[in-house]
Amino acid sequence: MVNPAGPQLTIGIETWPIAGQFTISRGAKTQARVVVAELSDGRFRGRGECVPYARYRESPETVAARLQELAGAVAAGLTRDALQQALPPGAARNALDCAFWDFEAKQSATPVHVLAGLPPPGPLTTAFTISLGTPQAMAEAARAASARPLLKVKLGAEGDPERIAAIRAAVPATELIVDANEGWTADNLAENLRACAAAGVTLVEQPLPADADEPLRNIARPVPVCADESAHDRASLPALIGKYDAVNIKLDKTGGLTEALAMSAEAHSLGLMTMAGCMVATSLSMAPAMLIAQDTRVADLDGPLLLARDRPDGLVYDGSIVHPAKPQLWG
């Protein structure tokens, strides 16, 4: 017999089509597959969404199975605090952690930001992603998005200096950040950073593979460099000092909002800038990340803008201005 101390946990895998194709240095995809965790006590419902990432040996099926294994513990009273030890950082814990936050907010009729001791979130500007392609194709895509004040440019292949130069020529007044997705090498690092500096790029994400990023410690960085794949949770922060200037906080890496909030505070205490990042996902993934993004140098929460459609009651995007979630969605 199930102990009624906790809510019932249900898990679902969903597929959301991408508008066109999303391409980075590791490949392209035309759909986003997400896992949704839902907690319910019959009166109140809390949801969280994650995007399993093959880069970290995750799949929707393995993440869903891992979460399903916890259904009994959740029903028996597993708490959000206990969850931090029950699962490691990653997509599975993110979905359930965010579902706990939403469930607690719905049960108590108290917004998540109040539960977390944060000020009310406000609208902010998100980056908009330009997928990796030829210099000409990327310049055209940037020009089509020239009304947006901040573009995130996917690089990480041969010919990146030409790509970033072509994009800058197409959008001379737009703020640019670059994500190389571990696609550069120690041999082309300096050249590519110089090209980004010449183009006035604000930030470069993860230029080198996470297991081969030591050259960053011994090279001039004319553009601030941000850790993405090299940064997961608080435990990963000390190793970044001296190699990186900033850290990209993604809830699918931290394992949820609980650790992301703690990681953000510690990163700032270590003198690291922060950015809030996302995977290609629905507004249910973006909603908790909006709380992290309130205190970052850059917000990159454009996942729903890359989809052919979003959830009902999704975040409101006014161009590149994204507004906080309504309670009907999350929090």
| pLDDT number for residue 1 | 31
Share of the chain above pLDDT 90, in %: 94
Q: Average of pLDDT values for 285-296? A: 98
Torsions phi, psi for 54 (to 5 deg): -60, -30
Residue 83 corresponds to which tokens in the numbers above? 């969850």
- What is the average pLDDT score of the chain? 95
In tens, the pLDDT along 101-110 reads: 999 999 999 9
SS (H, E, C) 221-264: CCCCEEECCCCCCHHHCHHHECCECEEEECHHHHCCHHHHHHHH
Separation CA 5–CA 101 (nearest Å): 17
| pLDDT number for residue 20 | 77
Catalytic residue numbers read 154, 250
Scored b (16 or more CB within 10 A) or e, 146-166 reads eebebbbbbbbbeebbebbbb
Which are the contacts of 322, defined by CB distance < 8 A and separation ≥ 6? Answer: 123, 124, 125, 126, 286, 290, 299, 301, 315, 316
The domains found in the chain, sorted by start residue, are: 8-115 (3.30.390.10), 124-322 (3.20.20.120)
| pLDDT number for residue 5 | 83
In tens, the pLDDT along 59-73 reads: 999 999 999 999 999
Report the 10 Å Cβ neighbour count for 114: 13
Q: Average of pLDDT values for 193-216? A: 98
Share of the chain above pLDDT 70, in %: 98
| pLDDT number for residue 2 | 38
Separation CA 98–CA 312 (nearest Å): 18
Among 24, 280, 279, smallest CA distance to 131 is for: 24
Separation CA 297–CA 14 (nearest Å): 32
Q: What is the DSSP letter of 306?
A: G
Q: Which helix (H) or strand (E) holds 106?
A: helix 91-108
Q: Average of pLDDT values for 149-166? A: 97
Confidence class for position 29, pLDDT limits 50, 70, 90 = confident
Confidence class for position 4, pLDDT limits 50, 70, 90 = low
Confidence class for position 204, pLDDT limits 50, 70, 90 = very high
Q: Average of pLDDT values for 250-256? A: 98
Residue 21 clears pLDDT 90, i.e. is over it: no
Which are the contacts of 220, defined by CB distance < 8 A and separation ≥ 6? Answer: 190
